[in-house]
Structure formats: structure tokens, C-alpha cells
Amino acid sequence: MREALASRSGDALGALFAHAAWLEAASVPAFLRLADELKAHGAPESLVRAARRSAGDEVRHTRAMQALARRHGATMPDVDLPPFESRSLEEMLLENAVEGCVRETFGAFVAGWQSRTAQDPEVRGTLRTIARDEVRHAELAWAVEAWAQEQLTPAQRERLLQARQDALRMLGEEVEGQRLPEQLIREAGMPSRDQARTLFQGLSTLVA
């Protein structure tokens, strides 16, 4: 998707921010769904509230990323997601393990890096706020996993662990294959491959 965006916008920064806006927008219904599922499965109200708050965060993040994309001549693609289907507690937790415990946590690492290293002051300021929120979202994922441990059988817990390990391996492969334009590293603060490796090592220590 990023390559397609780049070809339409003609600007790597615009493509990056438009894709980021799309991801943030897609996260809004995902967090609302998580809140409803947590409530249905009898999770503590604090987790339900945190999921709903996260959906609100993502609305703000979408607007912020859209503004950066427009500044660079790009627009966010339409968010056209298939309808959600009902799923079991284990299915919900498997997604949480992959998208929350692994990818959301790594995303928080990357956003924090960008907030410190981007040469563009507007990007730094925007990512500073987003990074703080993404840390809370990652903490929510781990809190959901901690709550769920007593709800699962040993076999289910083992599958959850395997899902995290598989997601970590796949993310590591993505990091190794990363090749970013210098413009994104310089102005947007995106980590270079070596820098992403360092962030990934920190994630691996946390997830292991």
C-alpha cells in the first residue's frame, strides 16, 4: 500500500502520513469492537473504558496524520473494512497478542523514536502526543492478556504464546527487509534499518 500511495502522491512523506492516517482510522472501530467484546466476556470495567478511550485517541491521531498528509499533497485512502463477525474469547485474545502486544508495542517504540529524532518540528510535536497515547494502547493490550490468563486453559495459553512468538518473528523479518528513503528517516524520524533493529531488540526482550 505504501508504494501505491507514493506513486499517486509523488511524495514519500505524504504517502507515509496518508498510510498512517488510514491505519489510525481503521483502529477506531477495532477498539470499539474490543470494548464491546471485553464487556461481553466479563472483563473489568477499567479495561472496557480504556478500550473506548483508545478509540477516541485514534480519532485524534487520524486527524493529525491527515493534516500532515495534506501538507505533503496526499490524502488518506477510504477506510473500507469488512463487517466484524462474532468471535470467541480466544480469537479475540489471539488478535490482541499479535496486533496489541507485539505490533502496537513496537509502534509505540517507533512513535517515540520519531518524536525525538524527526527534523520537522511539526512531526515531532504531533508524534510526541501520539507516542504517549500509543504507550497506553500497548499497556492495554498487555493488561487484557494478563486478565485473560485465568480465563484460558493451558492449551489456549500455549496457543497465545505461540501467536506472540510467530508475530515477533514476522515483525523481525519485516525489520530486516526495511529500506526507507532518506527523506523519511531525516524529516519524519523513521528509524533506519539499524535503528529499527535496536528497537526490535528491545521489543524482543519485553515480549520473550
Q: CA-CA distance, 105 to 92, in Å (whole number)? A: 17
User: Does residue 208 register a pLDDT over 80?
Assistant: no
User: Which strand (E) or helix (H) includes residue 6?
Assistant: helix 2-9
- 92-102 pLDDT tens trace: 999 999 999 99
DSSP reduced 3-state for 77: coil
Task: Say what the alpha-carbon torsion angle 123, 128, 132, 135 is, to the nearest 10 degrees.
Answer: 60
Cβ atoms within 10 Å of 19's Cβ, excluding its own: 21
Stated pTM of the model: 0.91
Give the helix ranges, DSSP H, for 75-120.
Answer: 89-95, 105-117
User: Does residue 65 register a pLDDT over 80?
Assistant: yes
- 2-16 pLDDT tens trace: 444 443 434 899 999
- 127-179 pLDDT tens trace: 999 999 999 999 999 999 999 999 999 999 999 999 999 999 999 999 999 99
- 21-56 pLDDT tens trace: 999 999 999 999 999 999 999 999 999 999 999 999
Q: CA-CA distance, 208 to 206, in Å (whole number)? A: 6
Cα–Cα distance list, 115 to 127, 179, 199 (Å): 5, 20, 14
- 76-90 pLDDT tens trace: 999 988 888 889 999
